Amino acid sequence: MNDVSVVGPDGGEVIELGPARIRILEDGGTTAHRLGIGEITLAPHSAGPPQHRHAEHDEGFYVVSGTARFTVGQTEYDAPRGTLVMVPPGAPHTFANPGDEPLVMVNTFTPDLYVRYFKDLRDTLAESQEMSEETTAEVMSRYATTPATDFA
């Protein structure tokens, strides 16, 4: 594979999911599916997804602006601009934006498995289903991801 991908500031596929905007920067097509990358913008005072675990991919979050609040099991971590959070398979996690300004994070997936989740959730919601924990969990289950209900 010799093709180079260059995604400019206005490039990438944009997916709107309620208070979250996801811009897909690398869908795995350039990396032979070893890596997917997105940019997440979360509105002020917004929650992210329900706490969950991935079985088949690592996930990374780099905070570009704002402050994220990560919940890992029962522990909360505030992550200001410049913070990197790496989540290995099996670790329960979620994030939120408790602040007054938009939160912007670069989100990585190795392998790229989870990039398609955002598209599937958008498509599911477009079929007149409202955003709920049940709907989110059903779509997550397609990508080796389950709600985290116990924190052992």
Residues 42-67 pLDDT 10s: 999 999 999 999 999 999 999 999 99
Residues facing residue 36 across a β-bridge: 109
151 has a pLDDT exceeding 70: no
131 has a pLDDT exceeding 90: no
Q: How many Å from the N-terminal Cα to the C-terminal Cα in the chain?
A: 42
Confidence of residue 134 (pLDDT cuts 50, 70, 90): confident
Domains annotated on the chain, with CATH: 13-147 (2.60.120.10)
The per-residue pLDDT for 24 is: 97
Confidence of residue 6 (pLDDT cuts 50, 70, 90): very high
Confidence of residue 1 (pLDDT cuts 50, 70, 90): low
Residues 111, 60 contacting (CB under 8 angstroms): no
Beta strand segments in the chain, E: 13-17, 20-26, 36-42, 46-47, 52-54, 58-65, 67-72, 75-80, 84-87, 94-97, 103-110, 145-147
152 has a pLDDT exceeding 80: no
